[in-house]
């Protein structure tokens, strides 16, 4: 199942012309990681749609906010060198965050994201990193089981933005049915 520009724009109307940029990248990434079928695609598009502000942001806007300042020195994220918090801020359509996640993603995608973290801002890498993250967290299984809140928790660590994610999911299910 390939998503079309028209379908994606209907689900993510604020994406505007970015839809044309991301449709090929999303289709390639989803097919590569088995995000196929209306339920999986709807869940994935809803989550990346929320995480990226409807495909408008592939890099976390940096304040730093109190939460972002907390990335600095977080061993669980692999941020052990001064400046890692900002350098390895959320990037890609699902906001890969932290040196350790960048290293794992780097290995999986065959990119040097440690030296060039901004590569996750390139549409094809932004989409592929999101699909890789989705796959490594077994989110296809949760999508198949209808466990949308659990998917949100695995991506976000909590339920931030759940109402928006849920609304995007319901819209996507209707559009892709």
- Positions marked active-site: 51
Q: Is 11 helix (H, G, I), strand (E, B) or coil?
A: helix
Which pairs with CB-CB distance under 8 Å and at least 24 residues apart come from 82-90? 86/62, 87/117, 88/117, 89/59, 89/60, 89/62, 90/51, 90/59, 90/60
Other CB atoms within a 10 A radius of the CB of residue 80 amount to 11
Q: Are 49 and 168 in contact (CB under 8 A)?
A: yes
- The whole-angstrom separation of Cα 124 and Cα 164 is 25
């Amino acid at each position: 199942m390939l998503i079309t520009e028209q379908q994606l724009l209907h689900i993510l109307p604020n994406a505007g012309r970015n839809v044309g940029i991301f449709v090929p990248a999303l289709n390639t990434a989803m097919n590569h990681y088995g995000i196929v079928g209306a339920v999986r695609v709807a869940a994935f598009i809803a989550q990346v749609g929320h995480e990226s502000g409807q495909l408008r942001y592939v890099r976390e806007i940096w304040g730093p906010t109190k939460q972002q300042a907390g990335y600095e020195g977080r061993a669980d994220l692999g941020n052990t060198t001064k400046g890692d918090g900002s350098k390895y801020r959320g990037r890609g359509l699902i906001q890969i965050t932290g040196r350790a996640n960048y290293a794992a993603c780097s290995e999986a995608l065959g990119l040097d994201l440690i030296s060039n973290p901004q590569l996750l801002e390139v549409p094809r890498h932004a989409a592929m990193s999101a699909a890789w993250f989705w796959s490594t967290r077994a989110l296809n299984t949760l999508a198949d089981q209808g466990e949308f809140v659990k998917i949100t928790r695995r991506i976000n660590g909590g339920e931030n933005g759940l109402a928006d994610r849920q609304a995007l999911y319901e819209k996507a299910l209707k559009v892709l049915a």
